[in-house]
Structure 1
């Protein structure tokens, strides 16, 4: 047998373990190895076909641990197969030069076959650790679990929508507290994945709190504080989290109430029940964009940024790195908050469209590291089993946007009933997947009052739009 033949049979053994043994006349050993290999492939196929919600299951520690251990074990086994296959092919009968060539290439092949298993083990371990670091919220206690009953088959226990509060914060080493400059609620239909992204402006004034809560008792007429020494205001919607965190005495000494207070406040403002929140550090978000290799955006006009207007994101269609994408989304120079909200929506839409599975897999470790540094959330780890398939539905579903900006509302004197009515109609339209539905009267708002009497609380129809509609337009 020539050196080329030895290497050919080794390569075949890497794809079908036992092939070299069959060639060497060790039929029993070869058939056993080949049978085990085929049985393993069939077992994996059976697991993939019979496991309900496979992607959701792959967020559980038990599954991930099995994959890591299995990948390491298979890597060692494949290495051993190549080495033993080389031995049974009796390379000692080759000329000396052939032995050196075959031995060298066989060693390289033995190492090469281990690499995919090592990559899988490393990525899954990184994925498992990242999930554990990010999703640390308290686990829900199901009533059926307390009573010793079987959990319900419907993971959402009959509910029609899930409402997630998506926040962009400006926390930095040289800043105290967290100001939530970007506030969006994603209201997702659990059956279709159709989503309404409701955006609230950072500068919403006289924010009302749910009656009976500590913040409502402190501010019965709305969130209002004296102006700052410099003339600015620290009583806008984007300051609610920071204020609650800075005043634990309002909550009987309990610390870190900011997230819960903001969730409840925005939920009350929109007439929705917010399930969980996810806070993204806006500059950490730039690292995530860099991790996927940048995003392609059509910049409608030059965007100037920087303390001295020294920065510029030029107009045109181009791939932006993380820092430029964030300046495009956040710059207020020569523009207002509402234009900025639109640009932020465009960045979110571009990221959603361009973060395809191939990109995520190719840059997995960088994405995982960036995600761990930029996300803070109260979503329990166990809920990922159900949220992962829901996220996949959203990826391919209809996503519309409703932005509460002037002239739709006045940020200084908001019509709270109108805000709730428009939100309710947008949600109904999303559930029906057509704007023609929901022509019926808007349901009455819960609890809020408008600070200016005489305003109509009946909306004419929410001006919803596609998530990337208007992006790139002048």
Structure 2
């Protein structure tokens, strides 16, 4: 039978153990309270003034966050404005950094309030571990958020400028998309492709109007510098549409004050040909385009013929085989650019298919998941004069356009003779395509007379030559993707 002193010692040990466990639970509880309600630990067991300030700030931030979340859900325009406003992004970045530092300080203070020196060694180590995990997890998450906000802000500053805001013309925004082979920071080389994205300012319904790079003998917009230099049109020997940029680069003295004389001259040509007023332009570095496609995990395209990769003739290094497949950046670029066994007009059709697929497949979820890669690729890929203040507007238009059919028109043979283009016909076709996109009635050309019953003969369908089109159709019927009311179905 144990003595009275032994029993008393056992009771004392149990009391000490119980007290140690209580102190340990109290220390852990203070840190968990700081995780859920920053400042609550100080309000209960520390500096109440600090606790009250921290809780007020926390509740204000939660309320502000909820309001912003609800507003973003109910108004996408607000969300687009928020992610494109550099001042707001700068303030948010600083706020996240300050919140990370302040929250970490509250965790350290909660650990101090828990009196770690009064704990047993194993409890003390556990508390240090818990506090470290919570502190670095919360602060690290907030600092990562601040970094992502900083990336977005830098992206907006690098990509977009403070140019003049231009309103819609006849209810539409006309954005000239130029594709070139220039490298990062070298945007002066002549464009390889030229497409106008004409977008309804209300609905976002779009028409892609492509111009062949080998067009000749075309006029410039009346009153422009180029119109004064070429009053009869761009009729010099060997002068093509894609050479306008090079000509302007060799005569920069005519474009005083212009940062992009080549682009400005090209716009003068595009406006003269199409009679459309260009709002903004964007030049895409086709080599850098590979990085963007890779950043979003590739793009799914239907390859209708074998597409040569690598160049012309002996430079061909392989083929993209027919079928519906997800292509990486390298193969997507060659799908859009390949000329072997093909022609410029086929390339224009395939390039439209790539544009349509990118618009359809890059969802907000994909953009968020790959945001940092996309931002890095985009700043290396695109040069544009779209002002920062207009970015939210175009983001909204892009989202509305995503849910609608994209119409296309390419000014190519057999409809248009690129050597001697009928400008009146060009402008008529553009007007018809836009009117049809907007649901307006379009006067149809007189149909060919039907074969007489007496002849009993039906007009034979023309044979379709085999070309590397990458889309339905052939040069004879203009390729479906080059002239379609629904780009998706043509690709």
* Alignment TM class, shorter chain as reference: 0.7 to 0.9
Give runs of aligned pairs for residues 23-34 of structure 1, distance below 5 A: 33-34=54-55
Unpaired stretches in structure 1, ≥5 consecutive residues: 143-155, 227-232, 443-461
Query: What is the aligned partner in structure 1 of residue 64 from structure 2?
Result: 43
Query: What is the aligned partner in structure 2 of residue 320 from structure 1?
Result: 327
1:82 and 1:212, CA in 2 relative to 1: closer, same or farther beyond 3 A?
Answer: same
1:185 and 2:205 aligned: no
Give runs of aligned pairs for residues 36-435 of structure 1, distance below 5 A: 36-47=57-68, 53-54=77-78, 55-136=80-161, 138-140=163-165, 156=167, 160-172=171-183, 177-226=188-237, 233=238, 235-251=239-255, 256-307=260-311, 308-432=315-439
Instruction: Show CA shifts across 1:356-403 (max 9, x none).
Output: 222222322222121111111122223224333333322334422222
Deviates further, 34-43 or 278-287: 34-43
Q: CA deviation at 1:63?
A: 0.8
Q: CA RMSD for the aligned pairs?
A: 3.1
C-alpha separation between the residues in 2 aligned to 1:197 and 1:79?
52
C-alpha separation between the residues in 1 aligned to 2:416 and 2:169?
34
C-alpha separation between the residues in 1 aligned to 2:220 and 2:356?
31
C-alpha separation between the residues in 1 aligned to 2:130 and 2:290?
44
1:397 and 1:23, CA in 2 relative to 1: closer, same or farther beyond 3 A?
Answer: farther
C-alpha separation between the residues in 2 aligned to 1:302 and 1:441?
36
Instruction: Show CA shifts across 1:401-440 (max 9, x none).
Output: 22222222222232211211121122222233xxxx3235
- Bigger Cα Rg: 2
Q: CA deviation at 1:309?
A: 1.2
Q: CA deviation at 1:164?
A: 0.6
Q: CA deviation at 1:301?
A: 2.3
Instruction: Show CA shifts across 1:139-184 (max 9, x none).
Output: 35x9xxxxxxxxxxxxx489611111111112259x9951212111
The answer as to whether partners of 2:207 and 2:408 remain within 8 angstroms in 1 is yes
C-alpha separation between the residues in 1 aligned to 2:418 and 2:269?
16
Query: What is the aligned partner in structure 2 of residue 469 from structure 1?
Result: 489
TM-score (norm: length of structure 2): 0.78
The answer as to whether partners of 2:188 and 2:262 remain within 8 angstroms in 1 is no
1:39 and 1:213, CA in 2 relative to 1: closer, same or farther beyond 3 A?
Answer: closer
TM-score (norm: length of structure 1): 0.80
Q: CA deviation at 1:64?
A: 1.4
Instruction: Show CA shifts across 1:196-237 (max 9, x none).
Output: 1111122222222123433233333332333xxxxxx4x221
Unpaired stretches in structure 2, ≥5 consecutive residues: 1-20, 446-481
Deviates further, 337-346 or 216-225: 216-225
Instruction: Determine helix, strand or coil for the equivalent of 2:193.
Output: strand
Query: What is the aligned partner in structure 1 of residue 36 from structure 2?
Result: 15
Query: What is the aligned partner in structure 2 of residue 438 from structure 1?
Result: 441
1:27 and 1:376, CA in 2 relative to 1: closer, same or farther beyond 3 A?
Answer: closer
C-alpha separation between the residues in 2 aligned to 1:255 and 1:385?
25
Instruction: Determine helix, strand or coil for the equivalent of 2:175.
Output: strand
